[in-house]
Amino acid sequence: MTTTAVRVRGLTKRYGDVQAVGGIDLDIHAGEVFAILGPNGAGKSTTVEILEGYRRRDSGEVSVLGADPGRPTRAWRSRIGVVLQTAGDMTEATVRETVRHFAGFYPDARDPDEVIEQVGLAEKAGRRIRELSGGQRRRVDVALGVIGRPELLFLDEPTTGFDPEARRRFWDLIRGLAHQGTTIVLTTHYLDEVEALADRVAVIAKGRIVAEGEPATLGGRATAEATVGWAGGSVETDAPTRAVLELSERFGGEVPELTVTRPSLEDTYLRLVEG
Ligand SMILES: Nc1ncnc2c1ncn2[C@@H]1O[C@H](COP(=O)(O)OP(=O)(O)OP(=O)(O)O)[C@@H](O)[C@H]1O
């Protein structure tokens, strides 16, 4: 049986003249990694902040881990982890002191040193946070988001500023958490991150969901026309196998520089948000 971690119906939020969220429905199942994609200003952070209990909605029904985030309780909060877009504080405390301090807020916190290791900061554990680079501070934010062993983890653009190795390490951490049953809601602008991590993805544009599904099939990607390319030409076709056979006959065997491609997630995403 799948249980629902997040249920949203008809969510709206307006700031003055701006309709930031214009009627969103969402179901996020317990244990899945759910990504929210969309251009700047689409309404992602507003939506996620409402789910986190940090922003009030205008209308709609919202249930997060069985409770209304519009009336957050301490017990409910302790079941949720949040990694916000802001970089960590410029504090005088060390990485280890900070992570230990936060661990003290939760009934069943993870081991601070283990978490520091998992985010790749073991060598910096004794350093003051203000001495860290931007990407390293972001990793402290991630450590603080997961230290309380949350059932549901919100990650708002978590890998912005990470170097490629740190991103890979972070992806491993998220996969490990998902494997242990943590539900993860991820907003990101990195399409490779969505492909690497997400079970399902929703694309938001102008405050509405314009597509939802698995990254591999989003917006009809898997069944879209393929492009068959070869040295000197290309053709778009819904029967690429036949096209390759015909080319093979024409060339009498190997087709030089043969490629068969379908729209990438980026192609699909851009079509969805521009359309
Ligand atoms: N506190 C606020 N007051 C007024 N307008 C706001 C406020 N917060 C967001 N907005 C507006 O609401 C819209 C949605 O913003 P939101 O931050 O939710 O977008 P986003 O999808 O998270 O964007 P980004 O990818 O840039 O983080 C934007 O037009 C933004 O200017």
Average pLDDT, the chain: 91
In the chain, how many domains are there? 3
Q: Is the CB of 15 under 6 A from ligand 1?
A: yes
* Ligand 1 centroid – CA 209 distance (Å): 16
Last residue of a domain, one of 145, 163, 179: 145
What whole-number distance in Å separates Cα of residue 71 and Cα of residue 56?
A: 9
Among 21, 46, 47, 206, say which to mutate for ligand 1: greatest number of ligand atoms within 8 Å of CB: 46
What whole-number distance in Å separates Cα of residue 192 and Cα of residue 93?
A: 34
DSSP string, 178-245: HHTT-EEEEE-S-HHHHHHH-SEEEEEETTEEEEEE-TTTGGGGGGSPEEEEETTEEEEES-HHHHHH
Residue-wise pLDDT tens digits, 154-178? 998 888 878 888 888 889 888 988 9
Residue-wise pLDDT tens digits, 24-73? 999 999 999 999 999 999 999 999 999 999 999 999 999 999 999 999 99
Buried b / exposed e over 142-173, threshold 16 CB at 10 Å, is bbbbbbbbbbbbbbbbbbebbeeebbebbbeb
Q: Is residue 168 part of a domain?
A: yes
Do 61 and 16 lie in one domain? The reply is: yes
Do 73 and 30 lie in one domain? The reply is: yes
Q: Across residues 138-143, what is the average pLDDT?
A: 88
Do 75 and 161 lie in one domain? The reply is: yes
Predicted confidence band at 86 (pLDDT cuts at 50, 70, 90)? low
Identity at 39, one-letter amino acid code: P
Helix axes 134-146, 164-179, angle to 10 degrees: 0
Name the residue among 206, 204, 150, 191 with its Cα closest to residue 174.
150
Residue minimizing CA distance to atom 1 of ligand 1: 15
Compute the half-sphere exposure of residue 104: CA atoms within 13 Å on the CB side of its CA.
6
Do 43 and 137 lie in one domain? The reply is: no
Identity at 269, one-letter amino acid code: Y
Please determine, for residue 85, whether its predicted confidence score (pLDDT) is greater than 80: no
Instruction: For Cα atoms 94, 79, 153, give the angle at the middle one, nearest 5 degrees.
Output: 70
Q: Using the structure block, give the residue that is written with the tokens 């860290």.
A: 132
Please determine, for residue 202, whether its predicted confidence score (pLDDT) is greater than 70: yes
Structural domain of 199: 4-79+150-215
Of 107 and 152, the one with more pLDDT: 152
Do 14 and 41 lie in one domain? The reply is: yes
Q: Across residues 241-248, what is the average pLDDT?
A: 96
Residue minimizing CA distance to atom 8 of ligand 1: 46
Of 89 and 83, the one with more pLDDT: 83
Residue minimizing CA distance to atom 3 of ligand 1: 15
Q: Is residue 84 part of a domain?
A: no
Last residue of a domain, one of 125, 145, 165: 145
Name the residue among 265, 272, 119, 269 with its Cα closest to residue 197.
265
Q: Across residues 189-216, what is the average pLDDT?
A: 94
Predicted confidence band at 136 (pLDDT cuts at 50, 70, 90)? confident
Among 11, 24, 40, say which to mutate for ligand 1: greatest number of ligand atoms within 8 Å of CB: 40
Pairing between β-strand 152-156 and β-strand 183-187 as defined by DSSP bridges: parallel
Q: What pLDDT shows up at residue 91?
A: 77
Q: What pLDDT shows up at residue 118?
A: 86
Residue minimizing CA distance to atom 28 of ligand 1: 41
Among 11, 12, 13, 15, say which to mutate for ligand 1: greatest number of ligand atoms within 8 Å of CB: 15
Do 207 and 187 lie in one domain? The reply is: yes
Q: Left (φ > 0), alpha (ψ -120 to 50) or beta: where does 27 sit?
A: beta
Please determine, for residue 1, whether its predicted confidence score (pLDDT) is greater than 60: no
Q: Is the CB of 86 under 6 A from ligand 1?
A: no
Do 12 and 132 lie in one domain? The reply is: no
Coil/strand/helix, residue 128:
strand
Please determine, for residue 88, whether its predicted confidence score (pLDDT) is greater than 60: no
Q: Is the CB of 17 under 6 A from ligand 1?
A: no
Among 45, 160, 185, say which to mutate for ligand 1: greatest number of ligand atoms within 8 Å of CB: 45
Do 135 and 269 lie in one domain? The reply is: no
Q: What pLDDT shows up at residue 2?
A: 64
Do 211 and 163 lie in one domain? The reply is: yes
* Ligand 1 centroid – CA 14 distance (Å): 10
